[in-house]
Amino acid sequence: MLILAILTVVFSDSGKTQPLFIPADAFRNPRAYELSRGAVEDYLRDMNQIAEARAMLEDKQPCATVEPQPAGEVDGSGTIVEVTSGWNADRRYVTSLARVKLKSGDEVLMEFLFGTMTLGRVTWCSGTERLKEGDTITFSAVKSATTPAHLICVSLPDHHGRNE
């Protein structure tokens, strides 16, 4: 759980002023993540605007869809050590962030462009994939330009029959 505590402080924009990934638990306990209640309310307002826009487009899908991603530049495999879902404030959708131990033994921070989080009676989700600690994955990813550097998974060709 240490990864969760540092993400809102470290995983931020280039000016280190605004977190880009807000774990689901931060909405329930903002002080533990060094967020003000006002910041959390701003994120919730943004999330509600996204939901309203989807409703106006008569989007009946239970989860938002993420636009197609470019081909990966890093291919590999490993085991998920820790995973959490949260709000990607930059891209404006729910995403999952995981610590993955590669077959080489190195660990990387990896963002998956899907995730599910429940806040009160509302469930926010992107995609239908479900990953958990201990899952072994083969992936294709691109390198991020954020701080800290991490990988953004663009396909999981062997996970639950998904083949992109």
Listing DSSP states for 100-122 in one string gives EEETTS-EEEEEES-EEEEETTE
Give the global pTM.
0.77
CA–CA distance, 25 with 117 (Å, rounded to integer)? 9
Who has greater pLDDT, 120 or 102? 102
Q: Burial-class residue 135 by CB neighbours within 10 Å (0-12, 13-18, 19+).
A: middle
Q: Please give the single-letter amino acid code of residue 63.
A: C
How many H-runs (helices) and E-runs (strands) does the chain carry? 3, 8
Q: Which two tokens stand for residue 16?
A: 């280190």
Residues 50-68: pLDDT tens digits?
Answer: 888 877 887 777 777 777 7
Confidence of residue 128 (pLDDT cuts 50, 70, 90): confident
pLDDT greater than 90 at residue 78 = yes
Q: Please give the single-letter amino acid code of residue 119.
A: L
Mean pLDDT over 66-88 rounds to 86
CB contact at 8 A, 92 and 45: no
